[in-house]
Each structure stands twice: as C-alpha cells, then as structure tokens.
Structure 1
C-alpha cells in the first residue's frame, strides 16, 4: 500500500540530529559520528525503522545505520529513534545505488536486506537489492568476510537471490525456508504477512 504523502516529513526529520540528509559528507567518518570504534551494521531499505531500532536495543555494543529513501515511511523511524534516545542508531536519507559515495572502503561490518521490493518482472531484476549490481556495491563498503542477511516473504525473489549469491560468489552460511518467529525480530510489516499464513524466507551469506 502506498504511503500517503506527508508534507511535514522532511522538515520534521531535518530537526532530528540523528537523521542525515547529506550523508556523503561523512564518508569514511561514521565511527567519528558515533564516537566509538564499535562495529557498524547497515540496514538497506529500513522503512519505518522497527527492525533496526529493536536491534539497537538488543545490541548496544554495535552501531546501527538505517538507510531509506522514502521520507514518508522514514519520518516514523525518525520519531522512534528520537523517542528511544538510542546512542547507537542513526538514519540516512539516500539511495542504495549511491552507497559507495556514503561509506568508505570496508567501513561496514554487516548489511541487512529486509523485505525489499521483489521486482518480479525480468526487466526490473537489476533493481533488486540482492542483485549482483548491488552485491558489487556492497563488496566495496563491507569488510572482508562481512555478512549479509536477507529476509523476504517472496519465494521466487528468495530463490533468485540464492542464485545471485552462489554465482557472485558468496559463501552461503544459513538458509531457512520457514523462519521461526522466535528467531526473528518481527516488524509490523513481517507480522502482516505471518498473519496471512505466508512463510518468511531467510539467508545469511558471507563475502
């Protein structure tokens, strides 16, 4: 469902010091932004921020960055980040295609791709966040032996993603065709699909 346009989303987020609209200025300096040398985990396509915020609560020893281009969705994440007063999570407004301009070489330790758009038409497959086009980008910003984790409710997209990983090649560490709720941070979006009886697919791969 398309989110209703929120006219005040951008002004509101610009007042939040944890949200960066010009993240390229911080390229290679994200540890300085956090004020420590803890590992940095990146969620690409963070939506309303439920996943990254829950992860930040559970893992205060890790820094989390949420990347999203849809300001209508991310204004909700911005509010949550502010309300929770978490020192280890920040948000970026930008595009996944431009991650090389946002992060320096090997600056990221782990990447999450949660319920990204499956782009089912063949002509649109290059837009998939698991496609080799993006894997080449991730390879530049993630550390050697860095981890990528993916969750989706779309089986065809998931099976195609596994092939992308094998051909790249990446080492597949874990595959789950029916992810148990106890092993997952269940966001509002994920709960919607689980309530409809849909399976959740998960994999973990390593560069």
Structure 2
C-alpha cells in the first residue's frame, strides 16, 4: 500500500530524538541507556504505524520495546502517538530491518516480532522475505541464540514458507496457530492490518520459534 507523503515527518523526527535517535548505530550494545529502567528488550521489525508495539509497551511495562520501520511516512504515526502519550519503555528506530546487526549487539535482544510482513510472493524475491535464512541469521545473532521469534501473517503461502525456512535453519518451532482468532490464545494485540484482515474473515497464522547457540 502506497503511503501518502508527509513532508513534515523528517522535521518531527529531528525534533523528537528522545524517542527516535538519529544515529541509532551509535547505540549498538547500549540501547538500555535509552530507557527508564533496564529490562528485557524486544523489537518489532517492520512496525508500520506502530499500533502493535505501542500497545505491547502499554500492556507490558516490565519490558522495553523498540519499533523498527524503514518508511518515514509510516513510523511518523507511531512517533506522533509517542509524543502525545509517552511511554518510558518504548523507542522508535527509523532503519532497514535488513541491517539489524548494525544496530544491535550480540545477545542485546531477547525477542523479535514480525507482524504481517510483505510476503514477496514471487520466487525470485524470496531473499526479501523476513523469514529468509539471511534474516534468521541476524535474529539469531542479536538474540545470542537464546531468544524467541514471534511471527504473524494472514498469508498462508508466506506462513508455509516460514515454517519450512525456520525448520531448515535449525530453529525449534515451539508453538503454531493455524487460526489464531479461533484459538485459546490469550492476550493477542492486533496490528492495523490484522484488524482489517480479521474483520473480513481472513485466517490469521502465528508461530513462536527459538534459536540455538
């Protein structure tokens, strides 16, 4: 979906560096300094407008969160929400999720969330999928081989691909939901896309996986 250009967004980011640092690579290994308290650190790769990561931070004040998104015109919505009602356990990162090891040290993150990522359905674009093995390697590195990957999608093809990719990589599939909204899963927080897709009756798929050192 094409996002409307918001020419004021860059100025807003520059004026609110306490919530979205302009030189995030300099924080590699030191992200805890950005939060009120040192706590487990979770990131969402591809946060879009940030509803999920903001509501997760609200619901879990005992965890620190970073919402990572490469599109300024999307993440500005998350920044506006954070400016209006600041959460001390939330930071925003305007950067490409393909470069995670530039921003996070080994073992700095304890959980990675992937929500409704672009499915890149054409085989020639498989390398762009966020569950392709090069991405999995980065998740494993920044989590030090002990963290969890939580993944949600409405796209059955991407979900099947991700199950195979994780298994082939050597990750352990801890839990799998083939119809999340008709399961006994408690505490689900929806993204903007999830609310839209589920309202029209689409099935939501979810998995949790762990990596090994």
Class of the TM-score when normalised by the shorter of the 2 chains: over 0.9
1:21–1:94: 8 Å Cα contact kept in structure 2? no
Between the two proteins, the alignment pairs up a number of residues equal to 207
Which deviates more from structure 2 when the two are superposed, residues 179-188 or residues 134-143?
179-188
> Which sections of structure 1, spanning at least 5 residues, go unmatched?
none
In structure 2, the residue matched to 1:46 is 47
Shift of 1:170: 0.4
The alignment's TM-score, normalised by the length of structure 2, stands at 0.94
Write 1 or 2 for the structure with the bigger share of strand: 1
CA-to-partner distance for each residue in 1:3-32, whole Å, 9 max, x for gaps? 111111111122112012320011100112
Question: Which residue in the other structure is 2:5 paired with?
Answer: 5
Moved over 3 A (4+): none
Aligned to 1:201: 205
Q: CA RMSD in A?
A: 1.2
Tell me which residue corresponds to 1:84.
85
Question: What is the match of residue 185 of structure 1?
Answer: 189
Whole-Å separation in 2 of the counterparts to 1:81 and 1:38: 19
State the match for 1:99 in structure 2. 100
Greater Cα offset, 188-197 or 83-92: 188-197
Unaligned runs of 5+ in 2: none
Distance, in Å, in 1 between the alignment partners of 2:208 and 2:33 is 28
TM-score (norm 1): 0.96
- 2-structure distance, mates of 1:172, 1:84: 36
